[in-house]
Structure formats: structure tokens, C-alpha cells
């Protein structure tokens, strides 16, 4: 018993860490707990370079100009998507590739050059022809060109807007509804052979692709927002006018001596 006691008493206790070492250890553990996968870079807001012409634009003018730019880009992006799902359409043209067909369509949209297969029709008349069951030409190009032409027509035939320009909120609202109708026709109408006019969104056991609907939704959303802003602009102008009249009568400072 005495031998055991002597052995136990002769053992050296474990050294305790110093306060500074303990603090360092806790800090390292905390940093390790915070460490995780690096955040994904999802892009950033783009700032357009200043242009001298912007001096002649109000906030609403600038909003309409940017909305038009983005809507035309969305429609051309949809043309690319539709060509990928419907390659037989661009092969109806004289171009040698899908990219060449897209480039030709982009030039026509940006310059508002009449599209030959639409037989001189513009605006909603062109849209009706492009979505007709018996249309034999490149339906992708005709549909996108007609949609773009209809949107530009709703903006008084312009793509850039300045203080001297006037936009009609109702026409822009109507353009949004026309896009909705065109999307419905695209997904529900059939050609003479009973097939969809164009393959677009796909929902199946293998795949769920709603990218077309999302892109069309962006166009509709921008048009509706601009229509609301224009309506609010004129409403606020009336309210401001009334406030100024009231202010001239009731909101004047009173003499204090």
C-alpha cells in the first residue's frame, strides 16, 4: 500500500495551457467553424458609360430606353433558344449556320428592315401571319421579328427616348398582353400536321425546361412596369399641380411681427 501511494504521489500532473495559448486555440477553432465553401459569383450590376445624349433624357426616358434595349435582347435570346430546339427553321433560309441566321435576324430587328417572309406586314398583322398554321417560312425569325416590331411600334416606333418624346401607357400595356397571347398561341396552336408551331418549353420525366417562359416573362414584366410608371407619372403631375395651387393659398409663412 505504501509502495502504491509513493508511486501515485511521484507522478507529475499534466501541464495546463497558458491563457494566451488557450485564446489562440479558441480563435483558430472559431475560424475553422466559419470556413465553408467560397460564395458563388453571380455577376454584378452593370453601370453603363455616360453619354452626352443622356442630358436630354428624364429618368422615365432613360428607363424606357434601357427597357427597350433589354427587351430586344431578350427576344433575340429567345430566337437563339428556339433555333436550338427547332433547327429545321433556320435551315429553310439561305444561311449556312444557326449563328449566321441569328446575325441576319439581329440586323433586321435593330434596323427595322422589313422581313421578306412577312410580305410587308408589320406589328400585330405580322405577328398573326408568323403564328398562322399555314406559314411555310422560317417561323422562328418571323415570330421574333414580328414581336420586336410590335413592341417598338407600341413605343411610337422608337428605341431611344428623350424629353421631347411622349409614350402612351395603354399602348405599352397592350404590347405586354400581345406577348402573353403570342406565347399562348405558340404553345397551344398546331400546324397542318398536328404538331406544335414551335418547340419551346418542355416538361417531361427526363427534363423540365421553362427557360422560354422565364424570358418571355421578363419582357412582359418590363412592359408592365413601364406602363405603370408612365401612368403614375401623369397622375403625380396632376397631384403636384394641385399641391402647388393649395400651397400658394394655405402654406405661406405668416408674419410674426
Can you tell me the mean pLDDT for 206-219?
80
Can you tell me the mean pLDDT for 150-179?
96
Predicted confidence band of residue 7 (pLDDT cuts 50, 70, 90) = very low
Tell me what the pLDDT averaged over the chain comes to: 82
Better-scored residue on pLDDT, 104 or 45: 104
Per-residue CA distances from 166 to 158, 202, 228 (Å): 11, 40, 15
Would you say residue 95 has pLDDT above 50?
A: yes
Q: Among 27-36, 69-78, 190-199, which range has the highest average pLDDT?
A: 69-78
Predicted confidence at residue 8, as pLDDT, reads: 42
Predicted confidence at residue 52, as pLDDT, reads: 76
**% of residues, the chain, pLDDT over 70:** 72
Amino acid at each position: 500500500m505504501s509502495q502504491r501511494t509513493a508511486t501515485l504521489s511521484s507522478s507529475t500532473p499534466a501541464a495546463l495551457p497558458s491563457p494566451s495559448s488557450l485564446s489562440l486555440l479558441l480563435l483558430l477553432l472559431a475560424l475553422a467553424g466559419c470556413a465553408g465553401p467560397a460564395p458563388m459569383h453571380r455577376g454584378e450590376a452593370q453601370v453603363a458609360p455616360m453619354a452626352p445624349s443622356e442630358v436630354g433624357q428624364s429618368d422615365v426616358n432613360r428607363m424606357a430606353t434601357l427597357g427597350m434595349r433589354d427587351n430586344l435582347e431578350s427576344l433575340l435570346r429567345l430566337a437563339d433558344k428556339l433555333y436550338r430546339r427547332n433547327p429545321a427553321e433556320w435551315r429553310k433560309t439561305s444561311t449556312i449556320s444557326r449563328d449566321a441566321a441569328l446575325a441576319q435576324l439581329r440586323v433586321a430587328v435593330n434596323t427595322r428592315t422589313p422581313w421578306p417572309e412577312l410580305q410587308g406586314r408589320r406589328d400585330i398583322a405580322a405577328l398573326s401571319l408568323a403564328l398562322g398554321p399555314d406559314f411555310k417560312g422560317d417561323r422562328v425569325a418571323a415570330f421574333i421579328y414580328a414581336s420586336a416590331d410590335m413592341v417598338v411600334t407600341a413605343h411610337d416606333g422608337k428605341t431611344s427616348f428623350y424629353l421631347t418624346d411622349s409614350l402612351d401607357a395603354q399602348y405599352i400595356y397592350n404590347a405586354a398582353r400581345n406577348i402573353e397571347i403570342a406565347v399562348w398561341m405558340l404553345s397551344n396552336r398546331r400546324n397542318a400536321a398536328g404538331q406544335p408551331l414551335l418547340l419551346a418549353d418542355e416538361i417531361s420525366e427526363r427534363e423540365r425546361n421553362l427557360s422560354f417562359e422565364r424570358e418571355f416573362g421578363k419582357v412582359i414584366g418590363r412592359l408592365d412596369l413601364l406602363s405603370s410608371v408612365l401612368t403614375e407619372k401623369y397622375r403625380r403631375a396632376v397631384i403636384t399641380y394641385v399641391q402647388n395651387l393649395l400651397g400658394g393659398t394655405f402654406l405661406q409663412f405668416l408674419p410674426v411681427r
